[in-house]
Amino acid sequence: MKVEITHDIACSWSALGFARFRRAAEEHRAGGGALTVVFRPYQTAARSAGTPQNGGPSPLASTARAQQTVRAAAADGLVMRPDRIVPADTSRAHRLIARAAAHGRAEDMAARLYRAHFTDGLDIADASVLRDLASALGVPWDAGKNADRPHPEPAPPGPRVPVFRFPDGTVLVGAVSLAALRGELRRAAMRTAAA
């Protein structure tokens, strides 16, 4: 069974949605289910490395809504530290996930990039940071090949990310609940088996 995830590493909702999806996917696999995850890059806002969008604070500025997101993420095992976020263009990070996919490490790389951005305060637009992350996961780094990967789609108007596409045509948008992701993985697996 294949699930496609359209996401952006710098999007807090993508980070939260992926943390929940990863947990549901681990449970699905532990129960004997097969699952392949394909990542589709999306760029919510192109920014230069180290430059906040519109010159303002980090994407998770200290607001009530941001703090609600931080609490929800913590409940799902994702530590978000808004004070450490380095706003960054995520094009290179998305290309690194594509490279990691060729080595069977896309999910691990996505998880590590979210942690690097939201927890560790690393600049995920910096080639040396990405090279170190690739090395830590055993993904060969080749700056030339990494640059050849397709660029993420820019953000059009309308629904944002994350978007989860299941093989039966079901689409879930946003940081959907763990229960919803578990349920959809079960339904999709049953429909796939029956087909």
Q: What is the pLDDT of residue 160?
A: 78
Residue 51 has pLDDT above 50, yes or no: no
CATH, residue 128: 3.40.30.10
Which residues span the domain enclosing 48? Answer: 2-194
Residue bearing the bigger pLDDT, 181 or 48: 181
Give the global pTM.
0.85
Residue 99 has pLDDT above 70, yes or no: yes
pLDDT tens digits, one per residue of 115-132: 999 999 999 999 999 999
- Select from 25, 59, 53, 51 the least CA-distant residue to 39: 25
Mean pLDDT check: name the lowest of 12-26, 76-90, 110-124, 154-168.
154-168
Distance (Å, whole) CA 129 – CA 123? 7
- Total number of domains constituting the chain: 1
In this prediction, residues 91-106 reach a mean pLDDT of 95
- Select from 1, 187, 5 the least CA-distant residue to 107: 5
Q: What is the pLDDT of residue 155?
A: 47
Q: What is the pLDDT of residue 45?
A: 63
Averaged pLDDT of the chain: 85
In this prediction, residues 74-78 reach a mean pLDDT of 90
pLDDT tens digits, one per residue of 7-44: 999 999 999 999 999 999 999 999 999 999 999 999 88
SS3 letters across the chain: CEEEEEECCCCHHHHHHHHHHHHHHHHHHHCCCCCEEEEEEEECCCCCCCCCHHHCCCCCCCCHHHHHHHHHHHHCCCCCCHHHCCCCCCHHHHHHHHHHHCCCCHHHHHHHHHHHHHCCCCCCCCHHHHHHHHHHCCCCCCHHHHHCCCCCEECCCCCCCCEEECCCCCEEECCCCHHHHHHHHHHHHHHHHHC
In this prediction, residues 48-71 reach a mean pLDDT of 60
In this prediction, residues 83-109 reach a mean pLDDT of 95
Q: What is the pLDDT of residue 56?
A: 42
β-strand partners of 3: 37
